[in-house]
Chain A
């Protein structure tokens, strides 16, 4: 999202309605598994993109109620099963919002593990306490009953939809949009010309709050724009 001197449309009169959708995920058990960090690195390189998505974007949704201490499955395994806190810290610091493709995200995880194993050769073949089983997501997008024609209706939709819908539009969206943004910001900017509100949404930190907290923060921004 970039600011623009030319607001596309007048305030509160959107060109297009915002249809709240949600995504339903079914976890598929993949073939790859890892009992050591070297196996983990190989699997990271070879697993389907759906597995990278599942263990980063999707797991964040599954654990949306945790405020701190959980970032993605890879970091959690590095700490709890491999007892490698520095590797875990590196993996946990990967912010999914900085990526607009799963291929880029995979590359980042691979770089972190490669770097760690170069610095810590003793860890390469040490057996983990538990095996890491790679999974993947089958995704289906489904509609909800919420449609916003105005900013007021948009706020009502935000209050009414499930946290899955918030995750779908606010976090997963960047993989669809291929932009460092989200569906809410795009609509506020492109259809309502609310540039500041759109930018404020992109500054919400999803890693230090729950998804319900994220919802509340989004609603606050929208309510400020309404007033």
Chain B
């Protein structure tokens, strides 16, 4: 074999449940003590500094990290610019916050710019975002003008001198007009589902997209037919983040105690915004069906009910569906409760994500990473993560969800195997280190094309 050239959280967090009549609560002695006021922070905790590549060695192995350094060797000194539409909040900004320092660590000089615009621009881009994911929308000339004018202002404001320019999502897609140098490679990273876009909006954006050297999608099913190469980059989770890092079991116990969750009995949990796309009422119906045969608690942990009118309505529906059942624990948590979510997921016997519409479904990734047997709707990017009966269970209905709850709760060995496979699947495909590997590989491939 020859060598190769290196080619506080807030008081708004409330655990809810009606108290069960005394005569029916004898099965669990802790029930009368539950629903104390949960411990939560008043304000978001300070951000944690991003990790270094070596911090991941104990998770993915030294060989994997060494491979990243080898892969980056031919890219040393190359420059990359990432451009997106927001510096804080949302999955893209969260991902870039981790990716950019890691690329810099392997000496691929990466900068991150954020486009600016007025309220009118972001209203148009929000409408585009929804329309591109299948929503109805009437594209007016005024909206086109606002969109293009704001992009032109950003084109004039931002310097594009790097070797690789990566534009995230549709908002800044027309920045491709800034392309000047022939050696430059421009990449469009689309984080949304374009499988059934509004034809008018897609028709407006498509000519810009076709000018890029490559496009990236989060699932095969999200892509469009385009004359440029299209790559598959799964979204990823950071195993060292607050949401996913290993935590002490005493903290898990503390969170359960504070939320009135009895760890001596099985726990099934769905972590999701209170949104109809996540079918929280369907989860409660499945719980009620399954509980006829097996004793367990259901935790519905979510948020979004404070600032979203639909969230408020959905939370009301969830409460009504739960009725006075003391084994249904509804938690409306603020967005900075990552550690508590982590603890709830780790305390769970099974995790459910019974979505009826979904993007990639990173809550499924989080559940699988924690080695939990996971039941999820077969929509969006979830089938990329759950191979039915191998890394989890895919369901298409309330009945199917109820059956899988019963089956997995009564077949713990099989459930454990699903959990183990699921964790390995995430380790192989959906971790931040895999994301770095994909980026380095793509830059290498495009660089060889440029040369």
> Which residues does A use to contact B, with CB under 8 Å?
16, 18-22, 24-29, 31, 62-66, 69-70, 76, 80, 130-131, 133, 135, 138, 140-145, 147, 160-162, 164-165, 169, 183, 186-187
Contacts and interface: CB of A to CB of B under 8 A. Distances in A.
Question: Which 8 A-B pairs rank lowest in CB-CB distance, beginning with the nearest?
Answer: A65-B424, A133-B220, A162-B63, A27-B232, A19-B3, A29-B230, A26-B441, A142-B70
A165 B61 CA distance: 13
A162 B66 CA distance: 10
Interface in B63-119: 63-64, 66-67, 70-71
A80 B383 CA distance: 11
B225 interface: yes
Given A27-B231, A29-B223, A135-B232, A18 B1 contact: yes
Given A28-B230, A143-B6, A187 B1 contact: yes
Interface string B369-395: 000000000100001000111100000
Given A26-B231, A28-B230, A142-B4, 6 more contacts: A19-B3, A22-B67, A29-B230, A64-B428, A142-B6, A160-B63
26 contacts: A19-B1, A19-B3, A21-B3, A22-B67, A29-B217, A29-B223, A63-B387, A65-B425, A70-B390, A130-B383, A133-B221, A135-B232, A138-B445, A140-B71, A140-B441, A140-B445, A141-B7, A143-B6, A143-B70, A144-B63, A144-B67, A162-B61, A162-B63, A165-B63, A183-B1, A186-B1
A217 B231 CA distance: 35
Between B2, B66, B445, the greatest number of chain A beta carbons within 10 A of the residue's beta carbon is seen for B66
Interface of B: 1-4, 6-7, 61-64, 66-67, 70-71, 217, 220-221, 223, 225, 229-232, 378, 383, 387-390, 421, 424-425, 428-429, 437-438, 441-442, 444-445
A133 B66 CA distance: 32
Between A65, A66, A130, A147, the greatest number of chain B beta carbons within 10 A of the residue's beta carbon is seen for A65
A21 B63 CA distance: 11
B388 A80 contact: yes
Contacts of B387: 63, 70, 76
B1 A66 contact: no
Between A20, A145, A165, the greatest number of chain B beta carbons within 10 A of the residue's beta carbon is seen for A145
A29 B231 contact: yes
B63 A66 contact: no
Contacts of A69: 389-390
Contacts of A27: 231-232
Contacts of A62: 428-429
Nearest to A70: B390
A18 B444 CA distance: 25
A142 B225 CA distance: 31
A162 B62 CA distance: 8
A75 to B, nearest CB: 12
A186 B2 CA distance: 12
Nearest to B3: A19
A64 B67 CA distance: 18
A162 B159 CA distance: 40
Contacts of A66: 390, 421
B56 to A, nearest CB: 13
A14 to B, nearest CB: 10
Contact of B221 (A22, A131, A138, A186): A131
A11 B159 CA distance: 62
A98 B7 CA distance: 29
B84 to A, nearest CB: 22
B245 to A, nearest CB: 22
B445 A145 contact: no
Contacts of B231: 26-29
B441 A24 contact: yes
B71 A161 contact: no
A62 B390 CA distance: 13
Contacts of B223: 29, 133
Contacts of A31: 225
A63 B7 contact: no
